[in-house]
């Protein structure tokens, strides 16, 4: 059985991420180069020894990721900040706490879908005991992110009823 598909139902956000990737020819895990994704999104990407952030001034957009971190964590930061760039408005330090928390929750979900997109993971087997390690290696992201994505998938797989 491959990932429990087709009994898995994608979310709207997953579908949006997958469509963007496919439209821009991001087909395989090795295609998920954050520099290329930034370029396609018209967002400058910089690595600096500082906290990750997203900034927009006029038409200029910039994502900064922490150069002190291992690349797997830099990639996680990139996908998180990319969500803010593509989906959010306003200055988080000036918005109501509830709105800030909503944006952060959205960025967390987006990070899972953008770093492990559905169209790339649907060929993996849920029954592989090393799936988390394999995803971490193939997608170059932290293991805990892979474990969280796997749990989200398992939570959305509709069990088949047999008679």
Domain ranges of the chain: 12-156
φ/ψ of 52, rounded to 5, equals -65, 145
pTM of the model: 0.87
pLDDT of residue 154: 86
Residues 79, 157, 136: CA angle, nearest 5 degrees: 35
Q: pLDDT per position in the chain (163 positions), as tens?
A: 455 555 788 899 999 999 999 999 999 999 999 999 999 999 999 999 999 999 989 999 999 999 999 999 999 999 999 998 987 565 656 656 776 677 778 889 999 999 999 999 998 988 899 999 999 999 999 999 999 999 999 888 766 555 5
């Amino acid at each position: 059985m491959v990932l429990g598909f087709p009994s898995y139902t994608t979310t709207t956000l997953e579908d949006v991420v997958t469509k963007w990737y496919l439209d821009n020819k991001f087909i395989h895990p090795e295609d998920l180069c954050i520099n290329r994704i930034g370029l396609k999104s018209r967002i400058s990407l910089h690595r600096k020894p500082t906290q990750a952030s997203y900034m927009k001034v006029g038409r200029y957009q910039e994502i900064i990721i922490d150069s002190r971190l291992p690349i797997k964590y830099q990639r996680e930061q990139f996908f998180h900040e990319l969500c803010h760039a593509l989906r959010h408005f306003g200055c988080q330090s000036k918005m109501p706490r509830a709105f800030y928390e909503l944006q952060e929750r959205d960025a967390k979900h987006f990070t899972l879908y953008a770093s492990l997109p559905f169209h790339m993971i649907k060929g993996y087997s849920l029954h592989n005991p090393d799936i988390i390690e394999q995803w971490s290696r193939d997608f170059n992201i932290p293991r805990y992110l892979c474990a969280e994505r796997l749990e989200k998938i398992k939570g959305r797989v509709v069990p088949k009823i047999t008679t």
